[in-house]
Amino acid sequence: MTTPGSSVRPDEQLFVTHTRQSGHMQRLELHSPWAFCVAESVRTALHVVLEGACRLVPTAGSPQLRVGRGDLILLTHGTGHVLADDSSPPPGRPDANSRRSIVLTGGYQVNCPLPLLASLPDVVYIQSDRCPEQGVRAIVDLLGAELEEDRPGARTVVPALEDALLPLVVRAWLDDCAERSREHTPKTLSDLAIATALERIHAEPERAWTISALGREVALSRSAFAHRFTRAVGEPPHAYLAHWRMTVAARLLRDSDLNLAAVALRVGYASEFAFAKAFKRDYGIAPGSFRRQSAA
């Protein structure tokens, strides 16, 4: 598949010999020549190359990027793009000697842009040698294993791993910025204490977080934490927490079989009624109706 304006050859096609999927996260085994297009959307796209190599071709006209084994890319603002095989074999069907690539691909669909991502560039690129230092590799390995082996409970485990991965990817990118030059670090994410608090929120949205509790996590008083968080992120901690909880809830409603009471508990609501009220306030629709529309 190709997209207008890209430099992907018309003869390149997607050859998938094996696919494992849980919700919107997939493990694709591909054989050259291959390419696939991801349309512009509200989704923040995530791709990890487990084997082989590929080219990222943003449809917005940005330079191509070669993505090697172990590398990770996050397209933060829903930019349309193409992933294409990095080899140049003759056109035609793949054979036993064709090059194999394995790619994890998925993303995060949000109701409105997350402040965590607002100041990031369109393409966040984390090279493989940076992944182990930030815990990214551990999460990626778990995701790959869950999808490859189709383990029981994968529909619950995989989304939780995706949620935990997002702030780790952002932290790895920030650390790279700090090594190159602090001037290149977005001001909204340069505060390490606030970046750490965001990691806690993303990893455990079900916890009964208070401003004081989050402040203790990063050794700040309640007032100092609230002030620094609001200045860095653009909204108060409780507002960001509520926003992220509803983002997670929407994903669980789309991608899991959990009943509404279980979804409510996973995002910190003991009452299904309170959860439904909060969800409808954000999405303009009841959780049950949202699930039915997503499945249609």
> What's the CATH code of the domain at 50?
2.60.120.10
pLDDT at position 115 is 61
By C-alpha distance, which of 76, 114, 77, 106 is closest to 247?
Answer: 114
CA dist 236 and 164 (Å) reads: 21
Q: What is the number of domains present in the chain? A: 2
7 lies in a domain? no
Per-residue tens of pLDDT for the chain, all 296 residues: 333 333 333 333 445 455 555 556 788 888 888 888 887 765 788 899 998 889 888 766 667 888 888 899 888 877 788 888 886 544 444 454 568 888 988 877 666 556 666 667 788 888 887 766 567 888 888 888 888 877 777 777 887 888 778 878 877 777 666 555 444 445 555 677 887 888 788 888 999 999 999 999 999 999 999 999 998 888 899 998 998 898 889 888 887 888 999 999 999 999 999 999 999 998 899 999 999 887 76
120 with 223, same domain: the answer is: no
26 with 92, same domain: the answer is: yes
pLDDT at position 20 is 56
20 with 136, same domain: the answer is: yes
Contact, 150 vs 20, CB < 8 A? yes
pLDDT at position 181 is 44
47 with 169, same domain: the answer is: yes
69 with 161, same domain: the answer is: yes
Domain limits for position 254: 191-295
pLDDT at position 3 is 32
Handedness of CA 271, 276, 277, 283 (dihedral sign): positive
Task: Provide the whole-model pTM.
Answer: 0.62
138 with 247, same domain: the answer is: no
